[in-house]
Structure 1
Amino acid sequence: MKLAREIADDGRFVRQSNRFTDRLPSGPPEPGRYRLYASYACPWAQRVLIVRELLGLRDLLDVTIVDPIRDEKGWRVPGGDPEYLSELYLATDPDYTGRYTVPCVWDNRDQRIVTNDFPQITLDLEMSWGTTPDLYPEALRPEIDALNERLYHGLNNAVYEAGFARSQEAYEEAVTRVFATLDHLEERLTGREFLFDALTDSDVRLYTTLARFDAVYYGHFKCSVRRLTDYPALWAYARRLYAIPAFRDTTDFDQIKRHYYVTQTNINPSRIVPVGPELDWSA
């Protein structure tokens, strides 16, 4: 199986760069032209699914949900057209040798992958395809960009750096960043409904990590200093977002747990999926 990760000499996890980085067109496209390939298990893909729902883009961006359990060929596409996501990558670039990742956007007209650049996809949708709610308001963009950068390096990707680390030093450095960021967010969200005055792209990016934290990252990735439920403001915030249909309807805890525990055999060779934790997200 191709891996979207590699380990540096000091044991640090290094994420694969995104290969296809063309921008989505400015302005809503004709219906049926673009298709999003995504997974409910993947936090990067769930971001796009949430934004697609929030902005009401179902008619402009078709979606295919891949199987949560990858095999040696990568993500399998239910229905068999194509059978595997890899076929789209190789149709776009026959010399492609990296991991076949979600999310990615396929152009039905030009028969190619436009982008698998997950940080940019949501921004393109927010700036060009949908305007209500305004998830990326122009006046706040510098602040949103700065916070998104902090979220990525301190939490979204840092949990992977902790989980895939191959040295004690690399693991401890990453897990320290994770909980320093969570501590900061707990303080920021105390007495606030969202990260800014209204729902933004930053809330979407934070939520998908929080949704997986106690179920996967706490145990599987050894981010076990504290649980999400040990943070009163963060836990209440995560449940407020979960109450919004776009967040709740794209959150599938069964697929999340089966993907991580069954697929990542380098961490969990037994492929046993744990029972629990029992969390009432609807409380």
Structure 2
Amino acid sequence: MSITPLAALSVHRAAPVFRGRIGRDARSGHYAVPHRYRLHLSTACPDGLRLAVGHGLLGLDADCPVTLLPAVPDCPGGGHSALRPLYEASAHHYTGPALGPVLSDDWSGRIVSTHAPDILRDLDRFPRTGRVSLYPRGLESVIEAVERMCAEGITQAAQRAGAAGADPAERAAALDVLLDTLGRLENRLAGEEYLADDRLTAADIELWVTLVELDTVHRCHLDASAVHRIAGHRALWAYARRMTAHPAFRSALDLDGISRRHQGRCRGLEAAGAAVQILDWASLSAAAEDACRR
């Protein structure tokens, strides 16, 4: 089965998006068989962090190994040198950036997918004992709704609210969207351990990663008043603490890598909110690690 990039190289030297899918049997070309596929990701990247947590929850270390990429790309102009052979084998005369995350096929030496949401759904198809499911039947619409809320109502809204040089009215409106979204998620989590059907699903991965980014990256560009209002959602941040205590979440959290990636990419202005940390993620991780040892 050949893989065709959906977005070919442009004058902007953008990386093509590969969206091959892993099916449930040999007829799909790429089917869910152990020891054939490999994940290449950086846990400093939100997409990579999502995949790392999902991979850990599914227990796929032996069946689909992970190759970790550095937090800061090591190629001029972006991209990872370790991924270049895969891109060159998968896209004819490829000269653009070799970006992660990537799901590759060890049998062919080519890329299956660079589309993180597809990859996580396909990992959920791998045969395994225990049958933890990140996308249980009947909960697809709930998970998709959470994904939209996190992308549009938190991440994009936080970026607009902290945009340097933006119109103050636009920043205020974006902050209102952010706070409204956090409030709706707060209400959903009141008295609940998880977001959907009292079980851990991909929705929880999505929200936890989004909250990590909100506190470690986007907060740095917000004023102190905004951060205090964000921190006031007690159920939401208590939920973030609980998720961080889970081994699959805790082991994937690379705070130093997230900081280095942010410093290497961000050209925005630091605001007073940078000094108002909502959660002490490092202490949470250390405390959970100590509890596991006892």
**TM superposition score category, shorter chain reference:** 0.7 to 0.9
1:207 maps onto 2:205 in alignment: no
Distance 1:192 1:61, change over 3 A: same
1:15-50 C-alpha deviation (Å, 9 max, x unpaired) = x89710111232674443211111110111111111
Q: TM-score, normalised on structure 1?
A: 0.78
Determine the structure 1 residue equivalent to 2:86: 88
Could you say what secondary structure the match of 1:113 adopts? strand
Distance 1:97 1:230, change over 3 A: farther
Determine the structure 2 residue equivalent to 1:182: 182
Determine the structure 2 residue equivalent to 1:146: 145
Q: State the structure with more CA Rg.
A: 2
1:266 maps onto 2:267 in alignment: yes
Determine the structure 1 residue equivalent to 2:237: 235
Determine the structure 2 residue equivalent to 1:4: none
Q: Which moved more, 1:137-146 or 1:153-162?
A: 153-162
1:160-203 C-alpha deviation (Å, 9 max, x unpaired) = 45556774366555444322211211121111111112111100
Distance 1:237 1:136, change over 3 A: same
Could you say what secondary structure the match of 2:103 adopts? strand
Letter in 2 for 1:119: P
Cα offset, 1:143, TM superposition? 2.3
Question: Which structure is higher in RCO with an 8 Å CA cutoff and minimum separation 6?
Answer: 1
Distance 1:94 1:178, change over 3 A: farther
Q: Is the 8 A contact 1:74 1:85 kept in 2?
A: no
Letter in 2 for 1:210: L
Cα offset, 1:138, TM superposition? 0.6
Q: Is the 8 A contact 1:154 1:181 kept in 2?
A: yes
Cα offset, 1:108, TM superposition? 1.4
Could you say what secondary structure the match of 2:268 adopts? coil
Equivalents in 2 of 1:210, 1:182: separation in Å? 10
What are the ranges of 5 or more consecutive residues in structure 2 without an aligned counterpart?
1-13, 26-30, 288-294
Equivalents in 2 of 1:230, 1:156: separation in Å? 18
Q: Which moved more, 1:248-257 or 1:148-157?
A: 148-157
Determine the structure 1 residue equivalent to 2:136: 137
Equivalents in 2 of 1:253, 1:63: separation in Å? 19
Determine the structure 2 residue equivalent to 1:110: 108
Letter in 1 for 2:193: E
Q: What's the Cα RMSD here?
A: 3.1
Equivalents in 2 of 1:33, 1:268: separation in Å? 45
Could you say what secondary structure the match of 2:23 adopts? coil
Distance 1:275 1:177, change over 3 A: closer
Determine the structure 1 residue equivalent to 2:5: none
Could you say what secondary structure the match of 2:65 adopts? strand
1:38 maps onto 2:41 in alignment: yes
What are the ranges of 5 or more consecutive residues in structure 1 without an aligned counterpart?
1-15, 77-82
Q: Give the number of equivalent residue pairs.
A: 257
Distance 1:178 1:84, change over 3 A: farther
Determine the structure 2 residue equivalent to 1:19: 17
Distance 1:140 1:92, change over 3 A: same
Cα offset, 1:96, TM superposition? 4.8
Letter in 2 for 1:153: E
Q: 124, 127, 130: which is aligned to 1:126? A: 124
Distance 1:185 1:96, change over 3 A: farther
Equivalents in 1 of 2:223, 2:93: separation in Å? 36
Determine the structure 1 residue equivalent to 2:254: 252
Q: TM-score, normalised on structure 2?
A: 0.75
Distance 1:176 1:44, change over 3 A: farther
Determine the structure 1 residue equivalent to 2:99: 101
Equivalents in 2 of 1:257, 1:132: separation in Å? 35
Equivalents in 2 of 1:155, 1:129: separation in Å? 34
1:53 maps onto 2:52 in alignment: no
Determine the structure 2 residue equivalent to 1:74: 78
Calculate percent identity across the aligned residue pairs. Answer: 34
